[in-house]
Structure 1
Amino acid sequence: MKVQVRSGDSLWHYSRLFMIPLNLLIDSNQTIDPSALQIGQEVQIPGFVALEYRIQKGDTFWKLSESRHLSVDALLLLNQKVNPNQLAVGDPILIPQRVISPLVNGKRQYNFEALTNDIAKLKSTYPFIQINNIGKSVLGKPIQEIRLGKGTKKINMNASFHANEWITSGILMSLLNHFLLSLTNARPIRGLSTMPLYNEIDLSIVPMVNPDGVNLVINGPPAEVREQVVRINQGSTDFTGWKANIRGVDLNNQFPAKWEVEKERKEEKAPAPRDYPGDAPLTEPESIAMANLARTRQFDRMLAFHTQGEEFYWGYEGLEPPESSRIAAEFARVSGYESVQYIDSFAGYKDWFIQDFRRPGFTIELGSGINPLPLSQFDEIFEEVLGIYLAALYM
């Protein structure tokens, strides 16, 4: 929600007026000097929307503010051109409304368009988040990153490396929305206050690493590559089992962590719906973008969300730091998922992250069954992984 500065206004006044933490106001208006607001300047108020209301008989600003638990000054701020003493039936005014329900609907076939629309809604309502494009997919779709927090603990979470694991994108976006609601409404999650976490973390979320692949599974092949992907899929137009990117390369077998071993033992020796690691490490724009992001940001820990198995993997060749064991024990406690230190698999993002940075990395296998998992599991998965999400931030 946007308001225009009046004489004598300050961000501190807006913080008290709307009961929004001052630091979120400052972070939502980073181009503004909070100590020198200018009359007429536009200020963004996070966690609120302005709704149009038509004056009814008997309405006054005082009655409207009382019925909505608002300050009269909040109405005056949003309606500076309205004379509150001359309200006429039918006149339009704006009323600030606190956002208390999720904007993200992750419990659906969550394709690239759904993600992009949800990111835009979150950015509009929670302008203290940053949206970055870290690269592009084979077909030119932006690989989007959401970044938030004011601390020094750098954490990355990502989802949908694999196309038919698209439910992970909806889950991760819903977790983020839950966290944002908690911040702007001072509402703890499972008894945990989230504002201290916001002040401690620098959180990077890449909710859809493989947008082309996700859209292929959900929407079917786009015309420009239909012939190519049908050929890779052995003539079938059923893409529900497709894990790879649009070129038939498995993005989670693309990283230089014993890639040669994985290449040699994989049955697939050419582009395929799954398991083909490419002709060399880091040939695909999506995997390159994720590698560059990690190198640039130097994350302290990383979580990659996959499906399925209700377990998570956290070791690689004995290179994981001692801290990983402590975090893994907490993840298992809060989720009920099985903690698995080693698995006979190489060339994954988690493997490479541990190998190159010697910091905690985790592959979290959500839910159980056959991919793509049914949306009937969504609510249960969300509750299970919410504990992992929070533990990754506070430990």
Structure 2
Amino acid sequence: MRVVVKYGFIFIFFFLFMPDQGRAYIVDAVDGYTIEQLEADLKDIHKQYGNNLSVKQIGTSHFHQPIWAIKLGEGEESILLIGAHHGREWITSNLLMVMLERYADAYQHKKKIGKFDSNIFDKVSIWFVPMLNPDGVDIQQGKLPVQNKRDFIFMNDGSPNFKRWKANGIGIDLNRQYPSGWQDVPGSPFPSYKGYKGKQPFEAKEVQAVVRFVEEINPMSAIAYHSSGQEIFWQYGARQNIVRDYFLATKLAELTGYSLSIPPEEANGGGFTDWFIEEYGKPAFTLELTDFHQESNPPIRKLWEEWRRNRLVGIYLASEMANWR
């Protein structure tokens, strides 16, 4: 009897605390999430929820890999969520694909997400760009084009271990490529695994793609997901509506348990959210997943904790922006 009780307790504990209990989902905690895995998941998600999704290729990487955007909802207005500006931060792609599928399921079956009504997507859609930097993700995971291996090792300070790789396929740090404050951004003077801002803003093909896309859809707000540190950066420049954006940032902090932070000097300017705030005068937030990790990717075991923290982020922001129309 003691054995039965013990294993029954373990089963009940597992059932109560496993993610999204009682439901088989397509997207799982795939270690080393790649563009190939993302596309396979996206194909299955589109097959199941295609009536509520629009899938669009917005560009290609330097090595001609696709950059995908997925729209959930019918709303003419939208918000934008972006993952994997940096190669070693592919866990952000996992998270956004989990969010896409769970939200699509709730929307299709008219279920609430937390306290939020998924019908909000009839008014404000969410655009997901889960993996902006597929080349950088590949390099970080050791998938190097053979003919360029020597160049990559040189850009990686002579190391054949690419776990710290942030840049795109030609050594440009995509989140140092936007024009707001670009001229003052420090960093590597030449292509590198991190920190090289390029010869000019908008030089990288991946950044060109997302900028064109933002101009096309004109979202009401945006979030760029990064890792790591469990922080939220929200403040930049003179065009910002401080009262509005501080209110939103505070609510996001309450949902996630993350702290509100001011970026260090070397990371101030040149980023996507810096540009979005200054160019459009709209709220944008950088959310850093997981506790702090040195120069490497966060382990995939962190995914479900971060999903728990971020489960309501997208639908909260869509619901809140509906009130600002």
Q: State TM-score, norm by structure 2.
A: 0.86
Alpha carbons 2:126, 2:314 under 8 Å: kept: no
Find the counterpart in structure 2 of residue 275 from structure 1.
195
- State the alpha-carbon separation in 2 of the partners of residues 203 and 212 from structure 1: 25
What is the rounded CA distance, in whole Å, between the counterparts of 1:382 and 1:375 in structure 2? 11
Counterpart contact for 2:78–2:220, Cα < 8 Å: yes
Q: 1:143 aligns with which of 60, 67, 73?
A: 67
Assess, with a 3 A threshold, how the Cα gap between structure 1 residues 343 and 394 changes in structure 2: closer, same or farther: farther
Counterpart code for 1:320: Q
CA drift at 1:367: 0.8
Identity of aligned residues (%): 27
1:189 deviates by: 1.9
Measure how far apart 1:100 and its partner are.
4.7
Counterpart AA for 1:109: G
Q: 1:105 to 1:287 in 2, by over 3 A?
A: same
Q: Which residue of 2 aligns with 1:369?
A: 292
Give per-residue Cα distances to partners, 1:305-347, cap 9 Å, x unaligned.
Answer: 0001111111102322232122112101111111235653111
Contact preservation (8 Å) 2:230, 2:292 = no
2:307 aligned residue: 382
Question: Which residue of structure 2 aligns with residue 182 of structure 1?
Answer: 106
What CA distance in whole angstroms lies between the structure 1 residues aligned with 2:170 and 2:28?
29
Partner of 2:280 in structure 1? 357
Asked if 1:121 corresponds to 2:41, the answer is no
Alignment-mate amino acid for residue 286 of structure 1: E
Letter paired with 2:147: E
Q: Which residue of structure 2 aligns with residue 248 of structure 1?
A: 171
Determine the C-alpha separation between the residues in 2 that align with 1:326 and 1:341. Answer: 16
Match for residue 153 of structure 1 among 70, 77, 90: 77
> Does the Cα contact within 8 Å between 1:155 and 1:300 map onto a contact in 2?
yes
Q: Distance in 2 between matches of 1:107 and 1:230?
A: 26
- 1:258 partnered with 2:181: yes
The one-letter code sitting in structure 1 at the alignment partner of 2:50 is P
- Whole-angstrom CA distance in 2 between matches of 1:378 and 1:269: 34
When Rg is computed on C-alpha atoms for both structures, the one with the higher figure is 1
SS in 2 for 1:255: coil
Please tell me whether residue 333 in structure 1 is matched to residue 247 in structure 2.
Answer: no
Whole-angstrom CA distance in 1 between matches of 2:318 and 2:92: 18
Letter in 1 for 2:195: D
TM-score normalised by structure 1 residue count: 0.71
The Cα of 1:204 is off from its aligned counterpart by: 1.1
CA distance in 2, matches of 1:156, 1:205: 6
Tell me, yes or no, if structure 1 residue 299 matches structure 2 residue 216: no
CA gap 1:106/1:130 in 2 versus in 1, 3 angstroms: farther
1:100-249 to structure 2, matched below 5 A, reads 100-128=23-51, 129-194=53-118, 196-249=119-172
1:23-81 per-residue CA deviation (whole Å, 9 max, x = no partner) reads xxxxxxxxxxxxxxxxxxxxxxxxxxxxxxxxxxxxxxxxxxxxxxxxxxxxxxxxxxx
Distance across 1 between alignment mates of 2:32 and 2:276: 30
SS of residue matched to 1:293? helix
- Which consecutive aligned stretches of 4+ in structure 1 deviate over 4 angstroms post-superposition? none
Question: Could you tell me how far apart the structure 2 residues matched to 1:305 and 1:248 are?
Answer: 20
Q: RCO higher in 1 or 2 (8 Å CA, sep ≥ 6)?
A: 2
Judge which range, 373-382 or 270-279, deviates more. Answer: 373-382
Structure 1 residue 320 corresponds to structure 2 residue 240: yes
Higher mean alpha-carbon deviation, 250-259 vs 149-158, is at 149-158
Deviates more, 1:218-227 or 1:304-313: 218-227
Q: 2:230 aligns with which of 275, 290, 310?
A: 310
Change (3 A) 1:219 1:383: same
Structure 2 residue runs of 5 or longer lacking an equivalent are 1-21, 321-325
CA–CA separation in structure 1 for the residues paired with 2:290 and 2:301: 11
Paired with 1:104 and 1:220, the residues of 2 have a C-alpha distance of 22
Counterpart residue type for residue 191 of structure 2: P
Give the structure 2 partner of residue 35 of structure 1. none
Rounded Cα–Cα distance in structure 2 between residues aligned with 1:320 and 1:180: 32
Residue identity matched to 2:63: L
SS in 1 for 2:44: helix
What one-letter code is carried by the residue in structure 2 that aligns with 1:201? V
Residue 192 (structure 1) shift: 2.5
1:392 maps to 317
- Secondary structure at 1:127 match in 2: helix
What's the offset of the Cα at 1:102? 1.3
| Bigger proportion of residues as helix | 2
**Partners of 1:110 and 1:151 in 2: CA distance:** 30
How much does 1:152 deviate?
3.1
Query: Conserved in 2, the CA contact under 8 Å of 1:320 and 1:358?
Result: yes
Change (3 A) 1:343 1:302: farther
Native 8 Å contact 1:314 1:342 kept in 2: no
The answer to which of 371-380 and 237-246 deviates more is 371-380
Q: How many residues align?
A: 293
In the alignment, is the contact (CA less than 8 A) between 2:72 and 2:104 conserved in 1?
Answer: no
